[in-house]
């Protein structure tokens, strides 16, 4: 992985003392937003294939311990349910979540050290959760594995750059032919390998024709790479702000990516195709690369390719808008 001077400097500081990530700096004052626990996906690929409703219409349960949460989201029970997380649930665990679930974090709620695993499930919503410090043996902050219709919205994922890049795995990884996924209004920071779509160059037989993913209105700050990395799939990335990174959007293994209305600041390689045996492709429209270059081969997507409606901020408005609206800022 190539390191920008900014990331190298951050790492040097991090190794001198164990840092506490600053979630809300003077530059980022989040704007609280009201929401309801029964809301369904309203943007991106998660609106396709019948839509993503999660546990809407099901029972509502509030949990505050790992045991309570594990029982409430069991993959053995596909009945619709809304699970409300109160406080920070800490542990050294990976929890598999069943279909037709909505997981909601009350203000300040989330998971420390606990990885969430959506494996061969469908119709799942994760909102307003802060996920931190999930070590690699527990997977990613969130693993979406062979699952369909998933909406991740207004969440925050982070670890620390002080550890080796393999001590933690991904923050949100999407793999094994998963479909119809939207990641929106989410804050990714202080992490080496952030988000991938398609886990291996050798998994084309399962991934080709699948992995339709939207990344919209997200904020990526002080990260190494994978924002996201895409193999084989089709991705739409818009209205997102990238700050202090080495590489950002990396399209590989024939992936097709539409990149619109994004802004980059101090990002060495904002849009590229590297490190796989086959290149991927991208079409970029109205992006501010912050003086850096797009080196990805031109793809075939157009602004009308996504099968859903969407609104663009315009790249000149992204930096002033997205950081304030991303992250776990919802109240219910």
Active site residues: 226
Q: Is the dihedral of CA 316, 318, 323, 324 positive or negative?
A: positive
Provide the 10 A C-beta neighbour count for residue 191.
30
From 276, 235, 271, 275, select the one nearest 253 (Cα to Cα).
276
CA torsion 108-216-28-222 (nearest 10°) is: 90
Using DSSP, state whether 149 is helix, strand or coil. strand
Judge contact between 308 and 47, C-beta under 8 A: yes
Provide the 10 A C-beta neighbour count for residue 40.
15
CB within 8 Å of 327: residues ≥ 6 apart: 23, 30, 154, 155, 156, 185, 186, 187, 219
Judge contact between 283 and 296, C-beta under 8 A: no
């Amino acid at each position: 992985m190539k390191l920008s001077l900014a990331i190298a400097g951050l790492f040097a500081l991090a190794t001198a003392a164990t840092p506490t990530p600053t979630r809300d700096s003077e530059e980022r004052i989040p704007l609280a937003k009201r929401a309801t626990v029964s809301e369904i996906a309203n943007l991106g690929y998660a609106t396709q294939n019948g839509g993503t409703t999660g546990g809407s219409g099901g029972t509502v349960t509030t949990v505050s311990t790992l045991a309570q949460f594990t029982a409430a989201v069991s993959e053995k029970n596909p009945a619709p349910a809304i699970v409300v997380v109160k406080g920070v649930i800490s542990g050294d665990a990976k929890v598999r979540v069943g279909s037709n679930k909505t997981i909601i974090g009350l203000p300040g709620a989330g998971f420390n050290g606990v990885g969430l695993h959506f494996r061969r499930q469908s119709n799942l919503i994760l909102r307003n959760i802060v996920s931190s410090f999930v070590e690699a043996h527990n997977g990613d902050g969130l693993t979406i594995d062979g699952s369909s219709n998933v909406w991740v919205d207004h969440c925050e994922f982070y670890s620390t750059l002080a550890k080796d890049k393999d001590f933690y795995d991904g923050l949100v990884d999407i793999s094994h032919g998963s479909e119809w996924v939207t990641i929106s209004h989410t804050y990714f920071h202080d992490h080496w390998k952030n988000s991938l779509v398609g886990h291996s160059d050798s998994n084309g037989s399962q991934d080709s024709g699948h992995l339709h993913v939207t990344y919209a209105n997200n904020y990526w700050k002080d990260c190494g790479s994978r924002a996201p990395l895409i193999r084989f799939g089709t991705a739409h990335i818009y209205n997102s702000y990238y700050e202090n990174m080495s590489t950002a959007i990396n399209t590989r293994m024939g992936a097709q990516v539409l990149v619109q209305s994004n802004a980059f600041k101090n990002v060495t390689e904002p849009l590229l195709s590297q490190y796989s045996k086959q290149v991927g492709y991208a079409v970029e429209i109205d992006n501010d690369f912050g003086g850096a270059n797009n080196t990805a081969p031109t793809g075939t997507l157009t602004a009308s390719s996504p099968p859903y409606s969407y609104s663009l901020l315009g790249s000149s408005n992204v930096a002033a808008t997205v950081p304030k609206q991303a992250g776990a800022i919802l109240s219910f």
